[in-house]
Amino acid sequence: MQHLPSPDATPAPRPPLRVGLLGIGVVGSGTARVLVRNRELIAGRAGRTIDLLMVAARNLPRARALVGPDVEVLADAMRVVRHPQIDVVVEAIGGCTVARELVLEAIAHGKHVVTANKALLSEHGCEIFAAAQARGVMVAFEGAVAVSIPIVKALREGLAANRVESVAGIVNGTSNFVLTKMRGRGLSFDKALHEAQRLGYAEADPAFDVDGIDAAHKLVLLASIAFGTPVRLDAVHVEGIRALQAEDHHHAEQLGYRIKLLAVARRHAEGLELRVQPTLLPASTLLAQVDGAMNGVMVHSDAAGVTFYYGAGAGSEQTASAVIADLVDVARLADALPVQRVPALGRQLHVMAAVPALQVDELPTRNYLRLPVDDAAATLPAALRAFSEHDITVLAHRETAGEAPHAGALAFITGEATPLQLRPVLAALEGLPGVRGPVVRLCVQPLS
Ligand code: HSE
């Protein structure tokens, strides 16, 4: 840095940005805490102070204890979103019903909105973004996806020159924590989930985490930004992690893979592939090494090539980091013309175009198949014959005798085949003598 501006060039001070916070749970309390702790530093970056003026909370004494005497605490969130002294509303309530009403009311009253509520935006984003555009206010949501990773900004701004080909990510900290603890420490599913809840990672309803719904919410937002298309939640193929068994982790490991709940959005000539499902990733890939409550996102785009983003996927101050980054954007740009701000989804709404969603049943992938058998060595030749008769390539296989009698297993990695193409061979395998149950199938993604 060679020339610092002279003191005369110091801009006139701008009035503080006045924040109304709705909810003081995990996200709200972290936001309040970091705003106070890093007040000067944040003001230096935002060009003005960011003041928490009001909090709406159900538990008033708890809220007062958290925010201290200088912040007004109210039971009625509607009063906050309509209050003339509030410039920006941080929605940290969660859910879709009350949160939707409050966000729309805040917009109608000319308030900017910051939210980490991915369920709300994936269900009602079109309505909310349109209302915000019509009213000329910002809706910012960095905290809605992979909290500590600025992936919304990266896709929307850092990669603005690129045609994105695919986005693949581990975007649910809770399920990644559960999978990591089950694989590494042999914890049961219930124990690992309980631990994730205790650490404040899980959604109010943890079924959202382990059934892949939360990851689908996030994928919808990432795909909208990456591909410039309004994406509906029902366009995403979603499978969770409940049905995974310890032995699948074991077989995957032996075959050189790890199982992750992977969210994928990929552009094809005919439309978009959108899926969230437990997936085998080669153990050496960056995504396979994202463990615990961490998240990782890999983007393939035409000019930048492969870029990879890693960071905490859940947590109070980790989410606050993203929420406050959005508040800094609002502080800088609240007075700018709407056209001078970065659009919420990275493009002006009128250039967003619908793209058809493809059926994953018709898309080829490699596959992991596990077959419970009485005697692995005895069944292997017939199983390999069945693959060959159905023109399915076997890239690798593994047999385990099992500790008890009749508790063997055969595990296979197939070449590319669609779920529809696999159906006849699965039926043939299940009909072989000595096969004890249905074939378990998981998708394999050889992502580099
Ligand atoms: N329940 C979410 C997760 C929190 O585990 O990733 C952050 O969105």
Q: What share of the chain is helix, strand, coil (3-state, %, to 5)?
A: 40, 25, 35
Report the nearest atom of ligand 1 relative to the CA of 208: 1
What is the pLDDT confidence band of residue 290, given thresholds at 50, 70 and 90?
very high
Is the minimum distance from the CB of 148 to ligand 1 under 6 angstroms? no
CA 345 to ligand 1 center in whole angstroms:
21
What is the pLDDT averaged over residues 287-310?
Answer: 98
Whether ligand 1 lies within 6 angstroms of the CB of 87 is answered as: no
User: Is the pLDDT score of 1 beyond 60?
Assistant: no
446 or 21, greater pLDDT: 21
Ligand 1: distance of its center to the CA of 385 in Å? 44
> Checking DSSP bridges between strand 394-400 and strand 50-56, what pairing results, if any?
unpaired
User: Considering only CA atoms, which residue is closest to atom 7 of ligand 1?
Assistant: 314
pLDDT tens sequence across 15-60: 999 999 999 999 999 999 999 999 999 999 999 999 999 999 999 9
- Please indicate whether residue 211, judged by its CB atom, sits closer than 6 Å to ligand 1: no
Atom of ligand 1 nearest to the CA of 218: 8
Distances (CA, A) of 22 to 31, 92, 409: 11, 5, 52
Topology of domain 7-147+318-351, CATH: Rossmann fold (3.40.50)
Q: Which fold has domain 151-313?
A: Dihydrodipicolinate Reductase; domain 2 (3.30.360)
Please give the number of the atom of ligand 1 that sits closest to the Cα of 177. Answer: 5
CA 417 to chain centre: 27
Cβ-in-10-Å burial (0-12, 13-18, 19+) of 30 comes to buried
Instruction: Give pLDDT tens digits for 414-423.
Output: 999 999 999 9
Burial of 415 (0-12, 13-18, 19+ CB in 10 A): middle
How many Å lie between the centroid of ligand 1 and the Cα of residue 392? 38
318: Cβ below 6 Å to ligand 1?
A: no
Q: Confirm if 114 and 88 have CB atoms less than 8 A apart.
A: yes
Q: Is 147 in the pocket of ligand 1 (CB under 6 A)?
A: yes
- 423: Cβ contacts below 8 Å, ≥ 6 apart: none
- How many angstroms separate the first and last alpha carbons of the chain? 38
Alpha carbons 306 and 304: distance in angstroms, whole number: 6
Place of tokens 């080829």: 364
% the chain with pLDDT above 90: 90
pTM, entire model: 0.95
pLDDT at 13: 85
- Asked about 153 being catalytic, the answer comes back as no
Distance 314 CA to ligand 1 centre (A): 5
- Domain 364-444: assigned CATH number: 3.30.70.260
Residue 6 has pLDDT above 70, yes or no: no
Residue type, 303: A
H or E segment to which residue 281 belongs: strand 271-282
Print burial letters for 122-157: b (CB count within 10 Å at least 16), e (below 16).
bbbbbebbebbbebebbbbbbbbbbbbbbbbbbbbe
pLDDT band per the 50, 70, 90 thresholds, residue 5: low
- Establish whether domains 7-147+318-351 and 364-444 are of one fold: no
pLDDT at 283 over 60: yes
Compute the distance from residue 309 Cα to the ligand 1 centre, in Å: 16
CA atoms in the 13 A half-sphere facing the CB of 376: 18
Residue 120 has pLDDT above 90, yes or no: yes
Given a cut of 70, whether residue 2 has pLDDT beyond it is no
| Residues 388-415 pLDDT 10s | 999 999 999 999 987 777 789 999 999 9
Domain boundaries, the chain: 7-147+318-351, 151-313, 364-444
The number of residues in the chain equals 448
Residue 408 in contact with ligand 1 by CB distance below 6 A: no
SS3 244: coil
Task: Determine the atom of ligand 1 nearest the C-alpha atom of 171.
Answer: 6
Give the pLDDT band (50/70/90) at residue 158: very high
Please tell me the predicted confidence (pLDDT) of residue 373.
Answer: 96
Structure tokens at 91: 């929605």
| Cβ neighbours for 310, distance < 8 A, ≥ 6 positions apart | 149, 286, 290, 294, 295, 296
Determine contact, residues 93/27, Cβ cutoff 8 Å: no
